[in-house]
A and B are shown apart, each in its own frame.
Chain A
Amino acid sequence: MSSFGIKNEKLAGWNRPPVFESDGEGELLEVAMGPHHPSTHGVFRMDVVLDGERVIKLKPVFGYLHRNHEQLGQTQSYLANMPYTDRLDYFCSLTNNWAYALAVEKLVGQEVPERAEYLRVILAELTRVQNHASTIGFLLQEMGASGTPLMYAFREREKILDLFESLTGSRMMCNYMRFGGCRVDASPAWIEATRKVVAGLPAFVDEFERFLMTNEILMARCQGIGVLRPDLAVNSGISGPMLRASGVNYDIRKVDHYGIYDRFKFRVPLGDHGDIYDRYMVRMLEMRESISILNQALKDLPAGPVMDPKAKIRNFRPKAGESYGRIEAPKGELGFYLISDGSPNPYRYRVRPPSFINLTVLEDMCLGSNVADVVLIFGSVDIVLGEVDR
């Protein structure tokens, strides 16, 4: 009963899950989980049809946090959009900045100085570490661990947010990157502080792994639950750790070599089962790879300007054309699609949000599991509602 017929074998087990229907006994119960349920990470609703505690239907309802982001983006200048991108995935504002900056840089063919590229990598990887740590913490919180792992994750996140604050002036809404570089340079003291924080990270990851990875309750709750088959994952455009947990080797840092990622040596961890445990472990292992990238980047960080002197900030009017810039954000492929008609505002401004697209397969993963599992599966997707609803 624990895995509802979904076998936990090596890839042979990627068969279609059985169709779950009511056994005809008793009444079905329709429960609206959300929009103010404690584990929906904000305002999100799942209309769940239950047979006992088994889910036989699930309808995600989006849009409670819709803020007209894309339409707003078309009514103001390119630069004015930058702070708005912070508010998409408010856990990882720096990667949002980078993806948008990348799209605009592609549109105008803007070069980025060496030092700025390194800073971008450092900040993006720090963002990835704090995002993954918090996601795992939240996942365990939803498993009922009464906040202890979450507080440990937040202790580490706090250190990283302090770094962001001292560099950009804000902890979460960083608004740091610009077309052609970064807003301000990092001081040597900041670099030193970052080195210190990064040196402390492996101990934290070790601690997390030691206490959680082989915990029996955690393994029993996570393994074989919420299986996402690789074909379904690819067909529905899933990206990020969720896709890699299903065993698909697709990391945009490796595929696109955007920025300077081809200079660093890192590996891409892959899962074999596509269940909650794999998603959790892939994030865990990615944190280790991020730490290794951070170490390399901090070692090689060159001196120089952080802003291309030829970059145009005032009166920024790109030539007519279109571009799509995408990066491997902590949650998956984050892309910005821009069409310019030569005016100061984008003609079309479109966000490809990983949270939203990863959430579309929620029903396929949840069918046949318990209410308790739905909460876990939802948590293992790793979403931020600001990005889902935009």
Chain B
Amino acid sequence: MTERLDQIFVVLKHWLLGYLPESWQTPVGVVISVVCIIGLYPALFAITTVLERKGVGRIQNRLGPNRVGPYGILQPMADGIKSLTKEDIVPTSADAVVHFLAPIILVVTVFMGFAVLPMGRNMVLVDMDAGLLFYFAMGASTELSVFMAGWSSRNKYSLLGAMRAVAQMISYEVALLLSSVVIVMMTGSLSLVKIVEAQNHYSYGLPHWFIFTPWGFAAFIMYAIAGTAETNRSPFDLPEGESELVAGYHTEYSGFKFALFFLGEYVAMFSISGLGSTLFLGGWMAPFAALQFIPSWIWFFGKLFVSMGVFIWVRGTLPRLRQDQLMNFAWKFVLPMCLLNLFVAALWRFMGDGWLRWVVCSAILILAYVSIGREGMRRKQFGPRSYRYAE
């Protein structure tokens, strides 16, 4: 029973394909999977927008949307209908073709990343040998669309936003890649399916996820920071910082094109979270051996929503960094830590089993964290102050 529930989507797909001639099965199978992905993630996006507005509302001591449907859960429908019926304005001086293409390219490249993400046992669109590489190639091309949007709008705010976005995304792309390379070093494979399988064993009922190793934990932290910056979320939401640049690169977008940008941003968050849980949190694996009876896809999407929850929580909590601080942080802290982590992972691999490698690797990382952090803070001239009073 549990086995069948776990594989229900796979079985369903094969049952459907069984009615088709042999030569049709592969292309139609791909189309079915693609349609599922394209249908599923916008639905999750709709749920997330209402969750985010509710969650941030609670953090901010207010109710959030509660008028459309029970508890406001139909709010995304209302938003969707509104954005579909709004006038689509293209500025007269804008480059209309590029202006039109930018949101489409964003959404397309963002969705491409899901092709290689395993969303459950045997649930992956393409088990590509170079899956991780493909994912990062697609992730990097979202920058193109952001810059297209900023450049073609002929708006100074858009241009500044796009400039910031490209600088930020390229800087953090490096950190994102380097933090994931550690996993590739350990598993010896770029295939995301293999990476999940490498974590798929338990000892004493606890899983062997990569996050539960010193290098894996460090890489996960770096990945989380870089992933937040990559998706332009608070506190790294400078490209669209509404108090400075109105709306950044999508200032001149309205109606459905704006909705596409919005969709692209959230789907990118899902995608980054999905990759993060695949790399570090065991993908579709259950956190305890005893809980393996729950279907694998529930675990995958559960992890996705937990990480979305963290995104929302951070957004409701932190103020925004400034551009130069952001860049300093990327190049002077995250990058050195990532590089050192590569070395630590190699050390871990060649030290063999035993408690010694735990001690050595943890010590190196903690030492590096403290010293790089302290060195970085030493040159900064800020800290708590005391104040004097005049009587």
* B-binding residues in A (CB < 8 A): 1-3, 7-8, 29, 31, 37-39, 50, 53, 140-148, 151-152, 155, 213-215, 217-221, 223-224, 249, 251, 254, 267-273, 277-278, 281-282, 285, 370-373, 375
Contacts and interface: CB of A to CB of B under 8 A. Distances in A.
Given A148-B59, A221-B322, A372-B323, 11 more contacts: A2-B324, A31-B157, A39-B244, A50-B160, A53-B323, A148-B56, A148-B317, A219-B383, A221-B325, A270-B389, A372-B320
A50 to B, nearest CB: 8
A219 B382 contact: yes
B160 A144 contact: no
A281 B384 CA distance: 11
Contacts of B389: 267-270, 285
Contacts of A273: 385
Interface stretch (B21-29, B217-225, B235-243, B252-260): B235-243
Interface in B335-391: 380-385, 387-391
B153 interface: no
Contacts of A2: 322, 324-325, 328, 380
What is the interface residue range for chain B against chain A?
Answer: 35 or more
A282 B244 contact: no
B156 A224 contact: no
B316 interface: yes
Nearest to A52: B163
Given A143-B320, A220-B380, A221-B321, A371 B244 contact: yes
B246 interface: yes
B317 to A, nearest CB: 7
Nearest to A277: B385
A273 to B, nearest CB: 8
B61 interface: yes
Interface string B246-267: 1000000000000000000000
Nearest to B325: A220
Contacts of A53: 160, 163-164, 323
A140 B317 CA distance: 11
B152 to A, nearest CB: 17
A148 B60 contact: yes
A144 B388 contact: no
Contacts of A371: 160, 244-245
Given A220-B325, A371-B160, A372-B241, A148 B387 contact: no
A146 B390 contact: no
B319 A143 contact: yes
5 contacts: A2-B325, A39-B244, A148-B56, A282-B387, A285-B389
B319 A221 contact: yes
Contacts of B243: 38-39, 141-144, 375
A289 to B, nearest CB: 9
Nearest to A216: B382
Nearest to B157: A31
A145 B314 CA distance: 10
Given A39-B244, A144-B235, A144-B241, A270 B322 contact: no
B61 A372 contact: no
B242 to A, nearest CB: 6
Given A151-B62, A270-B390, A1 B385 contact: no
Contacts of B238: 372
A372 B322 contact: yes
A217 B318 contact: yes
Contacts of B383: 219, 223
Task: Return the 5 tightest CB-CB contacts between A and B, nearest first.
Answer: A144-B320, A267-B389, A151-B60, A143-B319, A249-B390
B208 interface: no
Nearest to B387: A269
Contacts of A219: 382-384
B52 to A, nearest CB: 11
B320 A217 contact: yes
B320 A155 contact: no
Interface centre among A7, A37, A271 (most CB of B within 10 A): A37
Interface string B164-185: 1000000000000000000000
Contacts of A31: 156-157, 160
A38 B238 CA distance: 15
Interface string B42-75: 0000000000000010011110000000000000
Given A1-B324, A29-B156, A38-B242, A144 B61 contact: no
A266 to B, nearest CB: 9
B73 to A, nearest CB: 22
Interface string B142-172: 0000000000000011011001100000000
Contact of B246 (A1, A38, A155): A38
